[in-house]
Structure 1
Amino acid sequence: MEIAELKAIIEGLLFASGDEGITVKQLKGILNISEETVSHLIEELKYEYERIDRGIMIMESNEVLHLTTKPEHSEYYKKLLEVPQSSRMSQAALETLAIIAYRQPITKTEIEELRGVKSDRPVQTLVARSLIEEIGRKESIGRPILYGTSKDFLTYFGLTSLEELPPLPETGESEDVNQEADLFFERFNEELELDNE
């Protein structure tokens, strides 16, 4: 295999490994080449990334390699994070988020029972926006995924903990609970839309 192709594969593996990163030993095993060759290719990539026209670099921490952005460009990344992501969430996504926030941990089937409709799409949307995440598996037939809110959920809604969610009325009616929760999330959704204008 050509050196250029090996470097491209290493670059892709570094990207795909995300926050967890990858070790030289893992790269050696995946590529079936010597550790020395992997180290040499990493050094070449590091050198290439040092050029001013490149926006990424390889960082090594505790023998784990990470592909990361250059610190000298941090002001631009901060601006990106300050720009709100796409505007409003759909009503279905808001309902689903409210149910998960108040009833977590909860499975998709349980969400669908409360909403009375399929919830594949809203769950996918919320996972894609990092507002909810898989937090385990339920000890039942099929071991369905349990969902809960993420740290990004708290940040998105300006909360420091789930205890800051507005209390729901003391009632057994799940419809009332859902309506109250929907109002809370809709308020934030509208505020975000105003901020985007």
Structure 2
Amino acid sequence: MEMNELKAITEGLLFASGDEGITVKQLARVLDVQGHTVEHLLEELKYDYDNTGRGMLLMQSHEVFHLTTKPEHSPYLKKLLETPQSTKMSQAALETLAIIAYQQPITRTEIEDIRGVKSDRPVQTLIARSLIEEVGRKEGAGRPILFATTKDFLTYFGLTSLEELPPLPDDINTDDLEEEADLFFDTFSEQIDQSNHR
């Protein structure tokens, strides 16, 4: 496979890995190449992002690489989030928020296990709205990011503390993950609808 194609695939993998990011070892395994080849690809991508007027940056945190937007573009991203069409949250974002509220701190993978679908975009939406935040990393393989709700979350729902969240039924079947996600959503849906129409 040509280096340009490998670089394009690497870029796609970085994008798909979202805020969790991806390591050189993971990229080498997926691309079926040596680690030094991956490091070369990442150096080329970093150079491209830094020197060709692109809107993204390649960031490294410990051994994990991920894509992020350029800090100098943040006023435009903020303006996008403040546009009227983005004021109403999707059902996916609501489900994700409810899961985080009741299960925090929680990783994106754990959220996806409960929802049964990828949750990169809902998590990004909630971070952008300051309803959730990163609160550390979980011990173990890859040290995934842990998410929890923010003070803005409490304000948004008119709560003074997490203890005021509506209680969940005692007989919830934690083995039935899809049912659990639906229950979380149902618990919040009425409050969300009211908030969206303020």
Give the TM-score normalised by structure 2.
0.54
Q: In 2, distance between residues paired with 1:80 and 1:72? A: 15
Q: 2:99 aligns with which of 133, 139, 156?
A: 133
Q: Does 1:8 align with 2:8?
A: yes
Q: Which amino acid aligns with 2:99?
A: E
- The equivalent of 2:49 in structure 1 is 49
- The equivalent of 2:153 in structure 1 is 154
The change in CA–CA distance for 1:50 and 1:165 in structure 2 (over 3 A counts) is same
Q: Can you list the C-alpha shifts for 1:76-108, whole angstroms capped at 9, x where unaligned?
A: 12222333554567xxxxxxxxxxxxxxxxxxx
- The equivalent of 1:66 in structure 2 is 66
**Structure 1 segments (4+ residues) deviating >6 Å:** none
How far did 1:19 drift?
Answer: 1.2
Count of residue correspondences: 135
Mapped contact 1:57–1:68 kept (Cα < 8 A)? yes
Mapped contact 1:126–1:132 kept (Cα < 8 A)? no
The change in CA–CA distance for 1:146 and 1:61 in structure 2 (over 3 A counts) is closer
The change in CA–CA distance for 1:188 and 1:15 in structure 2 (over 3 A counts) is same
- The equivalent of 1:118 in structure 2 is none
Mapped contact 1:88–1:190 kept (Cα < 8 A)? no
Q: Does 1:188 align with 2:195?
A: yes
Q: Matched residue of 1:54: which SS?
A: coil
Mapped contact 1:154–1:160 kept (Cα < 8 A)? no
Q: Which amino acid aligns with 1:4?
A: N
Q: Which amino acid aligns with 1:69?
A: T
Q: Can you list the C-alpha shifts for 1:113-171, whole angstroms capped at 9, x where unaligned?
A: xxxxxxxxxxxx522454333759xxxxxxx9589x9738926536463345699xxxx
How far did 1:65 drift?
Answer: 0.3
Larger Rg: 1
How far did 1:52 drift?
Answer: 5.1
Give the TM-score normalised by structure 1.
0.54
Identity in percent? 56
- The equivalent of 2:110 in structure 1 is none
